[in-house]
Amino acid sequence: MLICPSDIKQEEEEEEQDARRKKCQHLQKKRHSYNMWFTKELFPPIQEAVKRYGRTQAAIHYLEIAFRTPAGPSPYKKLGRSSLYDWFDEKGELQANYKETANLGHHPKNQDQNLPILENYPHICDQLVSKLQKMREAGQTLLISIVQPMLRGMFEALAPQLLDDRPGGFTVSRQWTNDFMKVYMNWTIRKGTTAASKLPLDWMEQGLNMNYKVAYLAKVYGIPPSLVIN
């Protein structure tokens, strides 16, 4: 049986298209990552496109076509040419300030520059971690307004020489406290909410109904207004 070279080429192209289609379907499930271009799934094809076509609209067009499926548009539909100019130089090489981001697969976390200060003081770090763990196990609410001065006090007692209140010095800032709990405790400070931000849509109607109930009970049981409190 003779096999035509064109048939082999067609099969290879179909396999390549099928592989792209499967990869695109995988990317479609990551809609939350579409603006996170430096993920391991999204960024390598961008680098390949720039190597082929440079920082041109043709590179973006290639990505849109290559990763488009019947299930939906290409995840690169929102990619702009200005981003290519920002990430790559004229030769198509990745800019130096983006190499770390590309290796990590995400933008580096914005951490306090003084966070590594504990690397040379592991015994202090252990005591800080132990103190926070005991507070949490005791059921105490660990607000940033509580943790920050507590850590500051421990530094003043254990290693006052590390503190520096001059501009740029180590003062146990809110940012440092946040970073410490994220890196050393794997904790995240939850954003506080207020009652006002959770008002139901019918809050006025509920308020009126509450007033009617209070007025009714006060009338029935003879409760003086001075005893009606919130």
Domain-wise residue ranges, the chain: 10-101, 115-184, 201-227
pLDDT digits (tens, 9 = 90+) for 50-79: 999 999 999 999 998 888 877 777 888 888
Can you say how many angstroms the Cα of residue 184 is from the centroid of all Cα atoms in its chain?
Answer: 18
Residue 88 is predicted with a pLDDT of 92
Model confidence, pTM: 0.38
- Asked whether the predicted pLDDT for residue 99 surpasses 60, the reply is yes
Least confident of 22-26, 47-51, 171-175: 22-26
> What is the phi/psi pair of residue 10, to 5°?
-65, -40
Residue 30 is predicted with a pLDDT of 43
**Mean local confidence (pLDDT), 120-140:** 87
pLDDT digits (tens, 9 = 90+) for 155-193: 999 989 888 877 677 888 888 888 888 878 777 766 655
Strand pairing partners for 6? Answer: none
Joined together, the tokens standing for residue 110 give: 């914005």
- Asked whether the predicted pLDDT for residue 46 surpasses 90, the reply is yes
Assign 45 a pLDDT band (cuts: 50, 70, 90): very high
SS3 category, 27: helix
**Mean local confidence (pLDDT), 114-125:** 79
- Contacts of 39-42 with CB under 8 Å at 24 or more apart are 39/105, 39/106, 40/105, 42/75, 42/76
Residue of 118, 123, 112, 121 lying closest to 177 (CA atoms): 112
Residue 197 is predicted with a pLDDT of 53
Rounded CA-CA distance 210/222 in Å is 18
Residue 156 is predicted with a pLDDT of 92
- Asked whether the predicted pLDDT for residue 32 surpasses 60, the reply is no
